[in-house]
Structures are given as structure tokens and as C-alpha cells.
Chain A
Amino acid sequence: MSTETQTIERLANQEYKFGFTTEVEQEIVPPGLNEDVIRLISAKKSEPEWMLEWRLKAYRHWLTMKEPHWANAQYPPIDYQAISYYAAPKAGPKSLDEIDPEILRTYEKLGIPLKEQAVLAGVAVDAVFDSVSVATTFKAKLREAGIIFCSMSEAVQEHPELVREYLGTVVPYSDNFFATLNSAVFTDGSFVYVPKGVRCPMELSTYFRINAKNTGQFERTLIIADEGAYVSYLEGCTAPMRDENQLHAAVVELVALENAQIKYSTVQNWYPGDKEGRGGIYNFVTKRGKCEGRKSKISWTQVETGSAITWKYPSVILKGDGSIGEFYSVAVTNNRQQADTGTKMIHIGKNTRSTIVSKGISAGQGQNTYRGMVKILRGADDARNFSQCDSMLIGDQCGAHTFPYIDVQNPTAQMEHEASTSKIGEDQIFYCNQRGIETEDAVSMIVNGFCKEVFRELPMEFAVEAQKLLAISLEGSVG
């Protein structure tokens, strides 16, 4: 047996690094979904009546909907009555000092310093643990600039006028099966409001973690950049290892008013399941931004390395004239992972521009699908789109699929689409070997080179983390 094969075996047996669980007393609502559960969630959060009504409206609509199965992914039916829709650490946190030290240790293991003094220079973190947002750092400093950065629950209490004005305006409660479910049962998430002309002085960050067994995580995030404002936001996610599949159905809504810019970056590392495809997170997420005002800009960057199944299409509605939408994506599937991801760029305003750069990497028996839509509506004069979809295959048992939809209703549109599929070459690996670089490092180097256009869109610290994650996800993938 060659040493290469040995390395692969060793690495294949290496376990998911973030698969620890935390022993904290949890308050979990028994599994099952009905109006009483929704009322209970709403009551737990002391929500105003309008919020409960909105949830119930969504729930009643959800009952009329069917689980979609058009994605290029296979999984057994999900039993929505077997999921618990609310789990919270028992002692409700009031301030950083009151947070259960066990939870703090969890975040330390994840490398997220919650304590303000330990926070990476300039990153404010809101951490969501199962259903509840446990801590928001740097809140005071942001407050000085007039920026609101808090949990969604808090926003409903403290800033109901903003929540009511914008919630559901980008992703309506009736949008799709999973978004509608989220609208009914969402438990927490982040809320950001950057006022007129303010440039947010630091990266805002949320860290999501699913800890409790048999729970779903349904967070809802709403970010509003008022006229001329700028904000860069990053989310990261992990989950412990479990044999059963766990559902994560989040909704993220972004609103950019005139001349505002929102940059939203995701590093998703949910538990992907084991080698045989047991366990892992179903990551069914609806993310959409609306360039409401003139010359506004929304940019999505995602690095998707985890989850058993990923189903997400961060999109931009380009309503304001001269607005810009961007989507940069790296999606990795190894072992039995399945990813069906891409974007929608809906051009409504004149002179709107969109850029799509998608890099799919498939290894093991992973299946990777890019699904994208570029729609140029009739009034969108001189709209431009550039799309580039590249796939890389590692080994001969994986798959890459591309479904680009283009719908142009205005003859002045300019569309460019480039696509490529490549196989990581033995020639490339041998070339690296011959220079003294071992196979594993060679693969990581070649893949990182392949993803470079996307990584350079990430904030510096996270680009480094993303590269490491990619290396971990692909360990042992070359035979």
C-alpha cells in the first residue's frame, strides 16, 4: 500500500472537528408543530400581537404548501412533527456576564472570542446557540454610531417600527415552503440597522450553532442599510455530530436604500454527515437582498463546505436604477454531500449590473449543482450580467451539474456566460510532488487557486479560515 493510500485512510477516518456537544440545561419545547407551539414561541419571546399574527398567517399558508423536490438532491421525507421548534439554554442571559460559562467555552472551542476584550480587532459578534441569541459584543460602541446590532427578538421588542416596516418585504411569508415555515416558527437571528450616511466601523458577525438534539434551527436575519450606509456582515455556522439529520431553515433579508452597500459573507460548516451519509444538517435557506434605492449594491459571498444537503440561492432584486448585485460562491461536496446552490439576479431598474462567480468542487461521491437565474425585465434598459460557473472534479465518483436560466425581456441587455469543468489533474499533482510538495498540500493549493476569485471577496481573517476549512473538507479526497 502506498503511503498516499495510507494518508487517505487516516484522513478519511478523521472526525468532524466541531462535533462536540455542550452540556447546558436546555429548555426544549416537545417535538411537533401546531398553532399552540407557535403561540408558545411567541409568548416565550413576549412578542407583540402583530408578530404572532404574522407567524400564524405564515403557518396557515404553510399548511397549504408542498415540500419542494425540484432540487438536484435526494433525501427521505422530513417529519415536521418530529422536530422541536424551540430550544433555549434554561437560564435566560441578561448580559455577557450572565452567560453560562459552558456556552462561552463552546464558543471558545469554535474560536469565537465572545468577551469583548478578546474579540478579533474590529469584529462584533452576535452568537446564536440553538434558538436564542446569547450575546452581542461591541453593542455599545456601535450604538454610538447609531447602528443597531442586536438579536431579532430584541429588535421586535425595542425597534418594532423598523421590524414591521421591513420584515417580509424581501422574502414574503408566502415565498416558499421553507421560508414560510421559518416565518411561522423563527426563533432568533440578527437584526442590523445602519442609519443614513453611516459606514459601519467594524465587521459585524453572527455565529450560529445547533447544539440540542432533534431541534431545528430557524433563524431570521434582517439587515437594513439606509441611504449612503455601508455594512459588512459575516456569518459562520457549526453543529455537533449527530446520527440523525437536523433541519436548518433560515431566512435572511437585506435591504439597501439609495447609495447603500451591504456585503454579506457566509462561511458555512454545518456537520456534513459521516462517510456513509448518516446524519448531517439539511441546510435549506432562503437569502435575498433588495437593492431598493438608486446605485445601491448588495454583494453575497459564500463558502459552503458543510451540511449533508445545501439548498440555497442568495439572490438580489435590482430595483434601483444603477444598482449592483454580486454573488461569489465556493461550494464543496465531499463523501455523500449534496449541494444545489446558486443565485437569482432580477434586473428591474435601468443600468443595473450583476456579477456571478460560482466555483463548485466535488470530491468523493459528492454532487454539486449550480442553479442560477438571470432575469432582465422589460424596463431594465442597458442591464448587464456576467456569469462564470466553474466546476472542479476530484476523483471519478462525484458529479458537477450546471443549470443556468436566462430570461431576457429587454433587447438592450448584455449577457455573458462562461462555464468550465476541470478535473484536478494528476499532472498538476505530480508537478507539485516533484517540487517537494506532498499530495495533500498540492490538492489544497490547487483548489485554493481555483477559488481565489471568491476568497479575495472575503474579509481577510475569514479568507484564511475559509482556506483552512476547504483543506479540511477535502482531506483524503485524492486517491
Chain B
Amino acid sequence: MSHLLEIQNLHANVEGREILRGVDLTVDLGQVHAIMGPNGSGKSTLAQVLAGREEYEVTEGRVLYKGQDLLEMEPEVRAREGVFMAFQYPVEIPGVSNTYFLKAALNAKREHLSLPPLDAMDFLKLVRQRVKLVGMDETLLQRPVNEGFSGGEKKRNEIFHMAVLEPTLGILDETDSGLDIDALKIVADGVNSLRSQERSFVVITHYQRLLNYIVPDHVHVLLDGRIVRSGGKELAFELEEKGYVWLEEPAEPVGAAAVEGES
């Protein structure tokens, strides 16, 4: 079976500056991959490129999603095909209620999948059920999208959107940033309840903390636009202990030196 997501030698620029310098990553269905790295390493850029943000120019490499060229798809098509990104900074849309917005989103996806639109009653039922997953106050459903939400409410709302839209690939862009420990647990519980064999996650985070609650199958370290190390969940603890600095001296030259020594 082919992989859900295959990122091959991905290079991307922002305003002419190269941020991603050859990222390789393979994600299979049902897996949770954590991507860690210091500020400026390219974590968020990777998320934005996968979601299809126009300002990020892909200069090299390719991304296959369900075997198709993801980079050729418009952002909304990616979304309808099951790619969801939880934003680090969710925007406010004044005057547009959260439920109205979500209904438009869900029905756009259903139309794409040749499914009939959900009527108001069925939609409300779905929303009521999913809002419990993230322990969100029901009054936030009728409020305009993110308007006047606290930082924690915004992040929870992102997970709520994800629960309603049921993506195949969920990308969490530093969802833990700015959350206190209680909010973090709620968000993590929401994500965990959505974990399944039919769904994968790419969790981008700066801190190991989140990974105590969302336990990943794989951890990757992104440094200076490349994945420099991959491992199991224990890699996250190692990073927590040692920081990122020890990785900045890549293992490869050491090996190369050894080879030199032999010759």
C-alpha cells in the first residue's frame, strides 16, 4: 500500500529566503508524527506549505498525498481531500457564526465527495456531539468565528473544527503554544479521541510537553530546514534534556572524519 503522505526533498522560499532545504518525511495512515525544532527551523513553514499558503514558494521536491501531487491542488481542494491544519494563530471572522462557517466548510467537503449536504438538524446533532470532545462552551458555537475568544478558546475551537471536519491528515501547528496545562490537556484529549487507524497526525511543537499527552509514534527534529534526526517518542525526552544544540553538530561529519582517519 502506498503511504498517506510522502514529502521528498522539499525546498521552499519565503520572500526569496530559503527556509526548507530538502525535507524528507513519510507518514502512514494511523500514525502520529511529531516535528520538533527550535524557533526559525522551518516547522511552521512546513505546515503552511502542506496547507497551500501562496506566499510560500516551493522551489524543489514534491509532496504526494494519497499518491497524488498535493502541491498541484488548491488549498480548498486539499482541505476537502482531508488535509486539515490547526492554525497557530487562528483568525477572527467578525459577524460569521462559528456554526454557519463550519456548515459551509463541511458541506463544501461533502459536495466534493459527492455526498448530499447535511441539513440543519443533522448538522446541529453532529456539532453538539463534537463540541463535547473539546469541552468547549456551547455558547461559542453561535459566536462569530474566533472573535473575542481567549487564546485557549481559539485553540480548542481549532480542534473542534477538526472534530467536525474529520480529516485524514491533521496538521497541528504549535497548537500548544500559549496554553496553560489544563487547556493543553483538553486539547490533547480532543486530539487523542480523534486518533484512529484511518487518520494520521503531524504535530508540530517547540516543546516536549505536548507529547506527554499526545504520544507520537515518531519524532523528527527539524533544524535549519532539514530533518536531522528521527526516532521514537524517546527522542523527545532526549531533546527536552539536552536541548537542540547537540544536534547542530551533525553526526555525519564525525563519521566522515573516521573514514578519513582510516584512509
Chain A residues packing against B (C-beta within 8 Å): 2-4, 425-428, 430-439, 441, 445-446, 448-453
Given contacts A433-B74, A448-B96, A449-B144, contact A438 B90 (CB under 8 A): no
Name which of B54, B93, B112, B161 has the most chain A CB atoms within 10 A of its CB: B93
By a CB distance below 8 angstroms, the chain A residues around B211 are none
By a CB distance below 8 angstroms, the chain B residues around A436 are 76, 79-80, 105-106, 108-109, 112, 165
By a CB distance below 8 angstroms, the chain A residues around B75 are 430, 433-434
A445 and B94 alpha carbons, distance in the complex (Å): 10
Pairwise interchain contact A438-B95, C-beta atoms closer than 8 A:
no
Q: Is the interface of A mostly helix, strand, loop or mixed?
A: helix
A-B contact pairs, 27 of them (CB 8 A): A425-B91, A428-B91, A430-B53, A430-B54, A430-B75, A432-B93, A433-B74, A433-B75, A434-B51, A434-B76, A434-B78, A434-B84, A435-B79, A435-B101, A435-B102, A435-B161, A435-B165, A436-B76, A436-B79, A436-B112, A437-B104, A441-B108, A445-B93, A445-B100, A448-B95, A449-B93, A453-B95
Residue in chain B with minimal CB distance to A431: B91
Q: What is the CB-to-nearest-CB distance from B171 to chain A, in angstroms, rounded to a whole number?
A: 10
By a CB distance below 8 angstroms, the chain A residues around B74 are 2-4, 433, 438
Pairwise interchain contact B96-A431, C-beta atoms closer than 8 A:
no
**Given A428-B91, A428-B93, A434-B78; 4 other pairs, CB 8 A cutoff:** A430-B75, A435-B79, A435-B161, A438-B74
Given contacts A433-B79, A436-B80, contact A427 B108 (CB under 8 A): no
7 closest residue pairs by CB, A with B:
A449-B95, A449-B96, A435-B105, A436-B79, A452-B95, A433-B75, A436-B108
- In the assembled complex, B85 has its CB within 8 A of some CB on chain A: yes
- In the assembled complex, B123 has its CB within 8 A of some CB on chain A: no
A439 and B84 alpha carbons, distance in the complex (Å): 17
- In the assembled complex, B52 has its CB within 8 A of some CB on chain A: yes
Pairwise interchain contact A438-B76, C-beta atoms closer than 8 A:
yes
Pairwise interchain contact A437-B105, C-beta atoms closer than 8 A:
yes
Among B130-160, those with CB < 8 Å from A are 144
Residue in chain B with minimal CB distance to A452: B95
- In the assembled complex, B87 has its CB within 8 A of some CB on chain A: yes
By a CB distance below 8 angstroms, the chain A residues around B91 are 425, 427-428, 431
By a CB distance below 8 angstroms, the chain A residues around B51 are 430, 434
A439 and B80 alpha carbons, distance in the complex (Å): 14
By a CB distance below 8 angstroms, the chain B residues around A437 are 76, 101, 104-105, 108
A431 and B79 alpha carbons, distance in the complex (Å): 11
Q: Pick the contact of A434 from B79, B93, B95, B144 — CB < 8 Å?
A: B79
Q: What is the CB-to-nearest-CB distance from A391 to chain B, in angstroms, rounded to a whole number?
A: 14
Residue in chain A with minimal CB distance to B106: A436
A427 and B48 alpha carbons, distance in the complex (Å): 12
Pairwise interchain contact A445-B101, C-beta atoms closer than 8 A:
yes
Chain B residues packing against A (C-beta within 8 Å): 51-54, 74-76, 78-80, 84-85, 87, 90-91, 93-96, 100-102, 104-106, 108-109, 112, 144, 161, 165
Q: What is the CB-to-nearest-CB distance from A471 to chain B, in angstroms, rounded to a whole number?
A: 13
By a CB distance below 8 angstroms, the chain A residues around B79 are 433-436
Q: Pick the contact of A450 from B94, B100, B108 — CB < 8 Å?
A: B94
A427 and B76 alpha carbons, distance in the complex (Å): 14
Q: What is the CB-to-nearest-CB distance from A395 to chain B, in angstroms, rounded to a whole number?
A: 16
Q: What is the CB-to-nearest-CB distance from B56 to chain A, in angstroms, rounded to a whole number?
A: 11
A431 and B87 alpha carbons, distance in the complex (Å): 8
Residue in chain A with minimal CB distance to B109: A436
By a CB distance below 8 angstroms, the chain A residues around B144 are 449
A425 and B93 alpha carbons, distance in the complex (Å): 10
Name which of B76, B90, B91 has the most chain A CB atoms within 10 A of its CB: B76
Q: What is the CB-to-nearest-CB distance from A282 to chain B, in angstroms, rounded to a whole number?
A: 32
Residue in chain A with minimal CB distance to B146: A431
By a CB distance below 8 angstroms, the chain A residues around B84 are 434
By a CB distance below 8 angstroms, the chain B residues around A433 are 52, 74-76, 79
Residue in chain A with minimal CB distance to B147: A449
A450 and B96 alpha carbons, distance in the complex (Å): 8
Residue in chain A with minimal CB distance to B53: A430
A3 and B96 alpha carbons, distance in the complex (Å): 26
Q: Pick the contact of B104 from A426, A439, A445 — CB < 8 Å?
A: A445
Q: Pick the contact of B90 from A431, A448, A452 — CB < 8 Å?
A: A431
Pairwise interchain contact A441-B104, C-beta atoms closer than 8 A:
yes
A437 and B96 alpha carbons, distance in the complex (Å): 13
By a CB distance below 8 angstroms, the chain A residues around B94 are 449-450
Residue in chain B with minimal CB distance to A445: B96
A19 and B66 alpha carbons, distance in the complex (Å): 47
By a CB distance below 8 angstroms, the chain A residues around B161 are 435
By a CB distance below 8 angstroms, the chain A residues around B105 are 432, 435-437
Q: What is the CB-to-nearest-CB distance from B144 to chain A, in angstroms, rounded to a whole number?
A: 7
Pairwise interchain contact A446-B93, C-beta atoms closer than 8 A:
yes
By a CB distance below 8 angstroms, the chain A residues around B76 are 432-434, 436-439
By a CB distance below 8 angstroms, the chain A residues around B106 are 436
A153 and B96 alpha carbons, distance in the complex (Å): 45
A453 and B96 alpha carbons, distance in the complex (Å): 11
